[in-house]
């Protein structure tokens, strides 16, 4: 049995001082560093495998402080506060700088909690969509970025522009011009867990590129995931497709935001996710 590339990317070796050592993933490499989703997942892994963890993730915020270089990194996760049913985490990923001193490349906070059954309701039904099998898969060029090969994507609305001629993209039927919607899963398929869901939440290409049909340099600055799913629902979701959508609210002087939602095929909302992204011009 071969190890799934995602599991290989999540290996964090515990150290005597309580930190853990990981290694940047070639399989999830982006243009000039790892795919942001894999860094978010690694920060969450540091919490998930911590011996003092209480409960399951409710919230994760990851700040991309600086580029992660190819090679090893150190993950430090500490419970800043443990309550009866919730726990608050501060996480830092660091790599040595040119002088060998540790430099922070990622900061993060997370909340884990022991969930209990309560009154529950959705206020965002899954939008109507054709079945995954009826939506053609996109095949990004293999030399574009390794991480793109790690996800099966079947775009429904707002695909990557075919022409980059600066034409403004406006939404139909009152939708956001920056809205994309797609079917999505790991490739090869893999049973869903919290860390994989955190990685999937960063899968959307830059909303600016869609809205503006212009490729300018971008980089996520901060990303948040609110987990609505518990472990049982993730298990029920298994290797199935997720319906994923995202749109921006505003693009302003170097930064735009993005709000996304991911449902499983049964129509259960698994998480909402938000990020703010730097863009160059």
Q: From residue 268, give the alpha-carbon distance in Å to each of 71, 216, 257, 261.
A: 38, 35, 24, 11
Number of residues that bind a second copy (CB under 8 A): 65
First to last CA, the chain: 47
Token representation of residue 210? 């869609």
CB atoms within 10 A of CB 140: 14
Residue 105 or residue 148: which is nearer to a second copy going by CB? Answer: 105
Q: Is 149 exposed, middle or buried (0-12, 13-18, 19+ CB in 10 A)?
A: middle
At 251, give phi and psi (nearest 5°). Answer: -120, 115
Q: How far apart are CB 216 and a second copy at their closest, in Å?
A: 8
> In the sheet that 13-14 helps form, which strands lie side by side, from edge to edge?
13-14, 20-23, 72-82, 86-96, 102-113, 56-64, 218-227, 269-279, 255-264, 242-247, 180-186, 151-157
Report whether the peptide linkage leading into residue 188 is cis, meaning its omega lies within 30 degrees of zero.
yes
Tell me the per-residue interface mask from 169 to 208 with a second copy, x by CB under 8 A, - otherwise: -------xxx----------------------------x-
146 binds a second copy (CB under 8 A): no
In this structure, what are the phi and psi dihedrals at residue 196, rounded to the nearest 5 degrees? -65, -35
Under the binding rule (CB under 8 A), the answer on residue 276 touching a second copy is: yes
- Binding segment for a second copy among 43-51, 57-65, 132-140, 142-150 (CB under 8 A)? 57-65
Q: Is 157 in the site for a second copy (CB under 8 A)?
A: no
Judge contact between 239 and 185, C-beta under 8 A: yes
- Distance between CA atoms of residues 258 and 274, nearest Å: 5
Give how far Cα 103 sits from Cα of 15, 72, 112, Å: 18, 12, 27
Nearest distance from C-beta of residue 121 to a second copy, angstroms? 5
Residues 65-124 that bind a second copy (CB under 8 A): 65-66, 80-81, 83, 86, 88, 90, 92, 103-105, 107-109, 111, 113, 115-124
Binding map of a second copy across residues 205-244, x = CB under 8 A, - = no contact:
--x---xx-x------xx-x-x-xxx--------------
Instruction: Decide: is 253 part of the binding site for a second copy (CB under 8 A).
Output: yes
Q: Name the residue nearer to a second copy (CB basis): 41 or 269.
A: 269
For a second copy, the closer of residues 16 and 166 by Cβ is: 166
Q: Minimum CB separation from a second copy for residue 15, in Å? A: 20
Question: Residue 199 or 269: which CB sits closer to a second copy?
Answer: 269
Binding mask 5-44 for a second copy (x = CB under 8 A): ----------------------------------------
User: Who contacts 251 (Cβ-Cβ below 8 Å, separation ≥6)?
Assistant: 207, 208, 211, 212, 279
Q: Which residues bind a second copy (CB under 8 A)?
A: 58-59, 61, 63, 65-66, 80-81, 83, 86, 88, 90, 92, 103-105, 107-109, 111, 113, 115-124, 176-178, 207, 211-212, 214, 221-222, 224, 226, 228-230, 247-255, 257, 259, 261, 269, 272, 274, 276, 278-281
């Amino acid at each position: 049995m071969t190890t799934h590339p995602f599991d290989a990317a999540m290996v964090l070796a515990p150290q005597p001082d309580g930190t853990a050592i990981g290694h940047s993933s070639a399989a999830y490499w982006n243009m000039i560093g790892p795919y942001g989703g894999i860094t978010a997942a690694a920060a969450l892994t540091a919490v998930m495998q911590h011996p003092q963890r209480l409960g399951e993730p409710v919230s994760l915020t990851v700040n991309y402080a600086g580029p992660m270089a190819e090679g090893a990194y150190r993950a430090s996760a500490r419970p800043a506060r443990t309550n009866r049913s919730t726990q608050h985490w501060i996480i830092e990923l660091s790599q040595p700088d040119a002088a060998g001193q540790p430099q922070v490349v990622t900061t993060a906070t997370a909340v884990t909690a022991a969930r209990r059954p309560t009154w529950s309701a959705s206020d965002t039904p899954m939008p109507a969509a054709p079945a995954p099998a009826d939506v053609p898969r996109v095949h990004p060029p293999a030399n574009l970025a390794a991480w793109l090969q790690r996800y099966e994507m079947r775009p429904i609305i707002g695909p990557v522009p075919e022409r980059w001629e600066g034409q403004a993209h406006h939404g139909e039927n009152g939708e956001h011009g920056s809205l994309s919607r797609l079917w999505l899963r790991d490739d090869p398929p893999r049973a869903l867990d919290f860390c994989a869901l955190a990685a999937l939440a960063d899968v959307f290409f830059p909303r600016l590129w869609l809205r503006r049909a212009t490729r300018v340099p971008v980089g996520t600055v901060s990303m948040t995931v609110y987990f609505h799913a518990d472990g049982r629902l993730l298990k029920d979701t298994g290797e199935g497709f997720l319906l994923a959508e995202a749109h921006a609210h505003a693009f302003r002087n170097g930064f735009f935001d993005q709000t996304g939602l991911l449902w499983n095929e049964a129509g259960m909302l698994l998480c909402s996710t938000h990020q703010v992204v730097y863009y160059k011009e």
